[in-house]
Amino acid sequence: MDKACEQAREGNLEYISSIAEPDLRRLIIARDEDGRSLLHAAASGGNGAMVNFLIAKGAAPSVKQADDEARTPRFPIGEAELQDAWMQHA
């Protein structure tokens, strides 16, 4: 999970898309020790393309996906690219 979160945060689509589908689905629903998901990691890195990819693969950007600090993946919405990604999935 840690390596996948790091790669999602960095926007490494090549790495994330190379993960086998069953493993990727498992990682998409997994949470780290702080309750954060791959989608949280991608959003915190400001990676709209990664956000779009993860949502297309089944990640849910809903309020129910809040971490231990009640932050949803939509919390770090400063980047224009990230705003566009959220608008596509509103």
pTM of the full structure: 0.72
> If you average pLDDT over residues 66-84, what whole number do you get?
56
| Domain containing residue 64: CATH number | 1.25.40.20
* CA angle, residues 33, 4, 28, in degrees to nearest 5: 75
Range list of H helices, the chain? 2-10, 13-17, 21-29, 38-44, 48-56, 80-88
Can you give the residue range of the structural domain that contains 49?
Answer: 2-88
Q: Which residue has the tokens 């689509």?
A: 13
pLDDT tens, residue by residue, 7-61: 999 999 999 999 999 999 999 999 888 888 898 888 888 888 898 899 899 987 7
Instruction: Copy the structure tokens of residue 32.
Output: 């780290």
Cβ–Cβ under 8 Å, residues 59 and 28: yes
- Rounded Cα distance between 58 and 53, Å, is 9
The tally of domains found in the chain comes to: 1
